[in-house]
Amino acid sequence: MFICDPVLFVSISKMKEVIILSLLGILGMGRGTKDELVYVALGGKAAQSSTFYGGTAKRSLDGIWNSTYEDHSCSHTLGETNPWWRVDLPETYQVPSVTITNRDTSAERINGAEIRIGNSLENDGNSNPRCVTALSSYILVMAFQCRGIKGRYVNIFLSGSNKHLSLCEAEVNVGRQNAATGGIASQSSQWDKFGDANNAIDLNWTNRYLEGSCSHTKDIDPWWRVDMSKTHNVTYVTITNRGDCCSDRISGAEIHVGDSLFNKGNSNPLCAGIPYIPAGQTRTFPCSGISGRDVNILLPGKEKCLTFWCTCWLFTKSPPLPSLTERTAAPGGRTRQRFSSETP
């Protein structure tokens, strides 16, 4: 047996050694008209510093998550100093988050780019408040928390000489984000009084375990699961890693979606693997509309201590087409959990 720091949002299976699991914050999103999460960028006007080979700015607002540049769905600037891309939203909004889809080739060109939000067009909007310090090519689809920065203009700015900026989709998410507070959260055990399963869906973004906003297990083959109350087509899952330490502990985790509770839901179809999420950063993993009621995250392996601060969005849609508005997909429900008498 070994002791680890609190672990955040993961479902574990397949190993016989003791693993520690703790969760903080999960969001379940689906269709509806209440508590809407609206993608306002689609109604905005796009501009960029220059255009290369037909890669117009508006391609990044076409609602298509195609990351192949040759399919004519990505914007592209010339090689220049300090290239930028900007969307002029219909009005001023408080922006909780921005999601960027990178291209699948030459992905490293986006490294170091910044997201800026504000109402000023000074310096083409590139001097507005910063949401994200540096984008990374490590994950194809990236979601970033902007904590409600207010602005009409959202810029992607890449500082440096002889830089190309190419984006395949940009989503500016506004409105209330309703974490599935009434959903059915469950996990395999409870570490202590602070580690209740319901803490993972309490809308509290605090990443400190002793403040009572994290779920935490301590047993063999621990797991955490959200039951969305009915089957949905899960479009993608967005996870924020903890920022205080131990960011590498999420590496190797897997996201599973399905309707079966065999093996506690840990044998459902694979949505995506999680190679790595830098400390405090957010990454989005496409699930290609996998149908399921339950979403699990697994970390196969021996003697793993998984610890990360995380908020997870479960974006869903009904076939055949996605909508511009999404709301919580896990209304109604209860929290259930098996308890452990051991203390940390």
| Sequence spans of domains, the chain | 18-35+178-337, 39-174
How confident is the model over 45-78, as pLDDT tens digits? 899 999 998 999 999 888 777 788 888 889 999 9
Mean pLDDT, the chain, integer: 71
pLDDT at position 12 is 27
Residue 174, pLDDT above cutoff 90: no
Q: What percent of the chain has pLDDT over 90?
A: 24
Residue 126, pLDDT above cutoff 50: yes
**What is the length of the chain?**
344
pLDDT at position 281 is 65
Residue 340, pLDDT above cutoff 90: no
For residues 206 and 310, the model is more confident at 206
pLDDT at position 73 is 86
Residue 22, pLDDT above cutoff 80: no
pLDDT at position 336 is 30
How confident is the model over 176-185, as pLDDT tens digits? 443 345 567 7
21-25, 120-124, 127-131, 221-225, range with the lowest pLDDT: 21-25
pLDDT at position 185 is 78
How confident is the model over 254-287, as pLDDT tens digits? 889 999 999 999 999 999 888 887 776 666 677 7
- 155: confidence class by pLDDT, cuts 50, 70, 90: very high
pLDDT at position 302 is 55
Q: Token pair for residue 58?
A: 């508006």
pLDDT at position 193 is 85
121-130, 201-210, 235-244, range with the lowest pLDDT: 201-210
- 11: confidence class by pLDDT, cuts 50, 70, 90: very low
Fold of 39-174: Jelly Rolls (2.60.120)
85-89, 126-130, 245-249, 307-311, range with the lowest pLDDT: 307-311
What's the pTM? 0.53
Fold of 18-35+178-337: Jelly Rolls (2.60.120)
pLDDT at position 28 is 40
- 134: confidence class by pLDDT, cuts 50, 70, 90: low
- 304: confidence class by pLDDT, cuts 50, 70, 90: low
Same CATH topology for 18-35+178-337 and 39-174: the answer is: yes
